[in-house]
Amino acid sequence: MSQVVTVTEPLPGVAQIVMADREHKNTFTDALLAGLGEAFTRVAADERYKAVVLTGYGTYFCSGGTRDALLGIQEGTFTFQPEGVPSAYSLALDCPIPVISAMQGHAIGGGLSMGLFADFVIFSRESVYTANFMKFGFTPGFGSTRIFPAKLGLALAQEFLLTGRTFRGTELAERGVPFPVRPRDEVLPAALELAGNLAEKPRRSLVVLKDHLVRELREQLPAVIEQELAMHAQTLHQPEVRDLVLNRYGT
């Protein structure tokens, strides 16, 4: 298994996937992407698992694309969906059993999109959440244009995506986000409690019901990704985008 992504079984039937690339603050490095792909493949193939908890470490859930990746996309040498690389944003959606995103830490850009593709989401009051694509001057990717409206409602999704602004978990709670918002140290315990509840059900029943509930989203996603890549072709290669990535990344 990866050194930056681990799988444990904290409760019978529950897989806990932990992202802990401390050196890169859980950005989408090759190591993190490969580790996530391996972890979800392993969990999906193991019949004893009935639920998954996906979480990060400390104050970080997932920080999205690396600076080099964003510059590569801007220069046209890379895309957010390169051939042969796991589609991190849809790993939770494609997983046959229910996935809970225990977002105890900051979730940024594609990292937030990935978390929202889970079946259940738990936010942290202290953490920051942002779809910061437009902060750098280019249109969103990672399926964000579909999953944000689906999970957060159109009004809040538009504010996330069009402004690129940052929200604290406390503000999301005040805005009526349709997910629990807990103190950071309560996020993972709440996720494990929920996972334990799910693990009491027959695996086959969970798989069949999840497949029914997410079928439409799974069917729509490939066309959405094509549309997002088409928008990237129009917006990413502007000189202003490179300047914004160079000057604003990490701020």
Q: Which residues share a beta bridge with 102?
A: 55, 122
Strands 106-108 and 60-62: parallel
Phi, psi of 12 (to 5 degrees): -55, 125
Whether 61 contacts 26, CB under 8 Å? yes
Does the annotation mark 232 as catalytic? yes
CA distances from 32 to 3, 11, 21 (A): 9, 24, 7
Query: Residue 19: which of 98, 107, 126 has the closest Cα?
Result: 107
Q: Which of 24, 106, 212, 232 is catalytic?
A: 232
With CA atoms as reference, report the closest residue to 124 among 110, 112, 114: 112
Helix (H, G, I), strand (E, B) or coil at 22: helix
The strand pairing partners of 129, in sequence order, are: 107, 167
C-alpha angle 163-115-127 in degrees, rounded to nearest 5: 65
| Residue 67, token pair as written in the block | 């600076």
Q: How far apart are CA 47 and CA 183, in angstroms?
A: 33
Distance separating alpha carbons of residues 105 and 99, to the nearest angstrom: 17
Extended strands (E) in 49-190 = 51-55, 60-62, 99-103, 106-108, 120-124, 128-130, 166-168, 181-182
- DSSP reduced 3-state for 66: coil
Give the active site residues.
232
